[in-house]
Amino acid sequence: MQAVITLRPFDADSVHYEDPDLIVGACVERSVCLEEAVHQLVLALGPNHPLTCDVVEANRAAYQLTHLRDLWVAYCDEQTRPDHDEAWRAAGREYPDPARVRAWVHYEAALLRTQKLNNLLANLREKLADFTGCDYMRKQGQAA
């Protein structure tokens, strides 16, 4: 269950992501957690489950995004005051100024990897909902 909840795709409908480029920063910042959640889901499903191939593909996409995280951290830390603690820095990486995201030298790669991962997670969410008969990510009050 924890893996399914963590797999919620980032989307522009979220109140925190009015600018789509904020999604890029958030996905790169959370990429390690996303990759771990997908990996745990692969392990839980096993090799013969009908969703395993889809989950492995999402795992690969999440793993590719993790390769940008250290670069993202270094880029954000260049512009953070030295007296800010790690919680402040993490919040700045997850909710950055969209212009700052677009100015990052690895923005295009991060954007493409984020879009790929989110598309795979959205597809996986639908398949998990069909398989389990329950969509944990549906907004409250939203019809099935």
Model pLDDT for residues 56-109, shown as the tens digit of each residue: 999 999 999 999 999 999 999 888 778 888 888 888 888 888 899 999 999 999
* Higher per-residue pLDDT: 5 or 83: 83
Give pLDDT, residue 1. Answer: 38
- Per the structure, the count of domains in the chain is 1
Give pLDDT, residue 129. Answer: 83
Which residues contact residue 70 at a Cβ distance below 8 angstroms, ignoring those fewer than 6 apart? none
The answer to whether the CB of 117 falls within 8 A of the CB of 58 is yes
The answer to whether the CB of 117 falls within 8 A of the CB of 61 is yes
Domain assignment present for residue 104? The answer is yes
Give pLDDT, residue 18. Answer: 66
Domain assignment present for residue 36? The answer is yes
Domain assignment present for residue 139? The answer is no
Give the domain extent around 87.
2-7+18-132
Domain assignment present for residue 13? The answer is no
Give CA–CA dist 59/117, Å, rounded: 9
Domain assignment present for residue 12? The answer is no
Domain assignment present for residue 141? The answer is no
Domain assignment present for residue 142? The answer is no
The answer to whether the CB of 35 falls within 8 A of the CB of 62 is yes
Domain assignment present for residue 143? The answer is no
Map residue 132 onto helix, strand or coil: helix
